[in-house]
Amino acid sequence: MIAIKLLDAAVYCAAAAALIALPFWIFNQIKYLKRRAATKLNPDLVVGFPVKSVMFFAVPLLIAIGLSQSMTSLALDEVLDFVRGLSGEYKVYVNHEPVSDADGEKIVSALRQTSSVLGHHSHPTKRIRVDINSEQGNITLELGRDSQISEEYWVFYPKYSLTSTNEIGRITTPVFDQY
C-alpha cells in the first residue's frame, strides 16, 4: 500500500519533469531543424542532434508511463485480493444505497472477474459507486459504463489519485444494468 502511494506521487513527479522539459525540447528541436536546413546551403556545416533536450523530455515521460502501468497493475492486484478474500459477513452498497445480500453476492462475483483489457475507442459514461464493507476492511470502487458496450464497465479505484481517473481493469456483466 505504501509502495502504491509512492508510485502515485512518483508518476506525477516524472510527468511534471517531462512537462517542464517540453518547451526546452521544442525550442532545441526547432533550432536543430533550422540549422539542418542551413546545411543544404553550406554542406561543410556540422549540426549536432539535441540529445540532452530529448533525454530530459523522453526519460521522465517513459518513467511516468512505466510507473503508471506498474501502479495500475498493483492497484488491480490490491482490489482483486480484497474481493477474492471476502468471507463471512460483508455489506455491499451501490451509489450509497445498501443492496440485498443476493445482489451483493452477484456484484462481488462480477468484481472478482475484473481484468486488464485492451481499449476499443470508447469511453466510460455514467459512474456507479460500489462500496464493500467487511470484517477484513472496506473498499470503494467506481464503475463507468462503457459508451459502446452497455454491459462492459471500466473499474476505477478512487483510493489513489492516478487510479481514480485511470481504469485498473474492466468487467462485462449485466449485474449493474439496473443502476
Cβ atoms < 10 Å from Cβ of 95: 11
Give percent above pLDDT 90 in the chain.
46
Return d(Cα 170, Cα 113) in angstroms, integer: 8
**Residue 179: inside a domain:** no
* Structural domain count of the chain: 2
Residue 40 pLDDT: 76
Does 35 share its domain with 85? Answer: no
Closest C-alpha among 129, 130, 176, 132 to residue 152 = 176
In this structure, is the dihedral angle defined by the CA atoms of residues 158, 86, 112 and 106, taken in order, positive or negative?
Answer: negative
- For 14, residues 6+ apart whose C-beta sits below 8 A from its C-beta are 60, 61, 63, 64, 67
Residue 129 pLDDT: 95
Q: Which residue has the higher pLDDT, 120 or 56?
A: 56
Return d(Cα 149, Cα 143) in angstroms, integer: 13
Return d(Cα 24, Cα 28) in angstroms, integer: 6
Residue type, 124: P
Q: At which of 11, 45, 74 does a domain end?
A: 74
Q: Which residue has the higher pLDDT, 165 or 118?
A: 165
Domain extent at residue 8 = 2-74
Over the stretch 46-105, which tens digit does the pLDDT of each residue have? 778 888 999 999 999 999 999 998 899 999 999 999 999 988 889 999 999 998 888 888
Residue 78 pLDDT: 93
Cβ atoms < 10 Å from Cβ of 5: 13
Is 116's pLDDT higher than 70? Answer: yes
CB of 127 within 8 A of CB of 157?
Answer: no
Q: At which of 45, 74, 103 does a domain end?
A: 74
Residue 14 pLDDT: 92
Q: Report yes or no on whether pTM surpasses 0.85.
A: no
Over the stretch 130-157, which tens digit does the pLDDT of each residue have? 999 998 899 999 999 888 888 889 999 9
Give percent above pLDDT 70 in the chain.
99
Does 88 share its domain with 129? Answer: yes
What's the rounded mean pLDDT across residues 21-32? 92
Residue 1 pLDDT: 65
Is 159's pLDDT higher than 80? Answer: yes
Does 69 share its domain with 97? Answer: no
Return d(Cα 166, Cα 179) in angstroms, integer: 22
